[in-house]
């Protein structure tokens, strides 16, 4: 029998022999492991990974090809980011053969009867060893160079750092503070009218009068309407 050699050492205690058989099978079940991206697959949508932790007596890196990359995704919102060679993450081994699902992305039948096979892994990119001190963290998204970053702090502060920022809106933007930007721009225009462009003086130094320049009132109103259209 296949298990005869395993049972013989415990032939005086059949219960212990059964436990040994169970343990021998359990230790061969693949569940999850820390993995590293060795290369990107040909379709540029999957990765080829290796196990970071080597078993005793093994110096070979078994390459697991065409592994699906797991990223936050729902029918309403998606978060995606580039994965590169050398990235570390967690590989989770699926219970059943996911070959058909990898090809279609929809409900499908298992292609074989294999279970807990490392070829049916999915890869989740994660920062494991590079985690910063927890007390210093809020929520941030940044590139590897740190020159493009969006961060939120616990006290409600939002910080944006980038070489260039582009904002596209299909309707007028609404930006509100304790004093709206619209009010600020209107005040600037009014001050310009009074202090710089608004008039010329006439009469004696003690009886000066201010005369509004022709067409300025109409032009100032146009400027205010233009700003209002942008900052609704």
pLDDT per residue rounded down to tens, the chain (232 residues): 455 555 555 556 777 778 878 887 787 889 999 999 999 999 999 999 999 998 776 667 899 999 999 999 898 989 888 999 999 999 999 999 999 999 898 999 999 999 999 999 999 999 887 777 777 778 888 888 889 999 988 888 889 999 998 888 888 777 666 556 667 777 776 766 665 554 544 444 455 555 555 566 676 777 777 766 665 5
120 and 202 inside one domain: no
Between CA 34 and CA 2 the distance in angstroms is 32
Residue range of the domain that includes 71? 31-125
38 and 119 inside one domain: yes
99 and 119 inside one domain: yes
107: CATH: 2.40.50.230
Question: Based on the structure, what is the number of domains in the chain?
Answer: 3
Classify residue 101: in a domain, yes or no.
yes
Residue 80 contacts residue 88 (beta carbons within 8 Å)? no
59 and 107 inside one domain: yes
Structure tokens at 73: 């995704």
- Opening angle at CA 228, ends 200 and 162, nearest 5: 105
Cα distances (Å, whole numbers) of residue 54 to 35, 94, 175? 11, 20, 55
Classify residue 1: in a domain, yes or no.
no
43 and 119 inside one domain: yes
72 and 141 inside one domain: no
Classify residue 8: in a domain, yes or no.
no
Classify residue 13: in a domain, yes or no.
no
72 and 111 inside one domain: yes
Sign of the alpha-carbon dihedral angle for 4, 10, 14, 19? negative
């Amino acid at each position: 029998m296949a298990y005869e050699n395993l049972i013989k050492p415990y032939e005086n205690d059949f219960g212990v022999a059964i436990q040994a058989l169970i343990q021998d099978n359990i230790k061969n079940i693949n569940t999850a492991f820390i993995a590293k991206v060795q290369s990107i697959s040909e379709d540029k949508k999957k990765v080829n990974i290796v196990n970071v932790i080597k078993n005793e007596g093994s110096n070979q890196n078994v390459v697991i090809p065409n592994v699906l990359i797991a990223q936050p995704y729902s029918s309403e919102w998606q978060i995606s980011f580039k994965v590169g060679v050398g990235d570390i993450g967690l590989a989770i081994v699926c219970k059943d053969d996911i070959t058909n699902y990898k090809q279609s992305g929809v409900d499908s039948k298992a292609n074989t009867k294999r279970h807990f096979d490392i070829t049916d892994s999915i890869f989740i990119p994660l920062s494991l060893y590079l985690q910063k001190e927890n007390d210093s963290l809020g929520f941030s998204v940044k590139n590897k160079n740190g020159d493009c970053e969006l961060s939120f702090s616990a006290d409600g502060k939002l910080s944006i750092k980038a070489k260039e920022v582009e904002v596209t809106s299909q309707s007028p933007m609404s930006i509100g503070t304790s004093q709206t930007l619209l009010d600020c721009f209107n005040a600037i225009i009014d001050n310009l009218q009074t202090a710089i462009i608004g008039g010329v003086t006439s009469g004696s130094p003690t009886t000066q009068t201010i005369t509004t320049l022709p067409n300025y009132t109409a032009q100032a109103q146009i400027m205010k309407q233009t700003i209002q259209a942008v900052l609704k």
